[in-house]
Amino acid sequence: MSEAKTLYQQLGEGPGIASVVDRLYELILADETLSPYFVETRLSQQKGHMAMFLAAATGGPNGYKGLDLDAAHAGRGITDADFDNVIGHAATALTEAGVDAETIGQVAGALMPLRAQVVTGEAAA
């Protein structure tokens, strides 16, 4: 009897997550509402942090050594809509990588509790 795979394993471990993260940032940077947040960001470093973060969040190794989420997003003015857009782009990147809907739902479920640490702004009236 085989053991159930972790989300990390289902996503293809390090190489699979790196591929999804690359596509995620292509989608984010093409999104006119999200791209301004990354104007002064070193993308190679950002992608590395995201890949390590996703690895840990999906049951893989925890190699993340960056700022905690509160500190990394403080003062950025990120709204609930922005957070939802990133989750949507993540779902697209995962779908394009051949990940099934149930697994995408599990990944989104792992990310949703982070909303309180990431959202630091309010939507414009």
Domain extents in the chain: 12-117
Answer whether CATH 1.10.287.1260 is correct for domain 12-117. Answer: no
Question: What pLDDT sits at residue 33?
Answer: 95
pLDDT of residue 125: 41
How high is the mean pLDDT of the chain? 86
What was the pLDDT predicted at 92?
96
Residues of the chain with pLDDT under 70: 1-2, 65-67, 122-125
What integer pLDDT is reported at residue 28 of this predicted model? 96
Q: Nearest CA to 10 among 112, 72, 93, 100?
A: 100
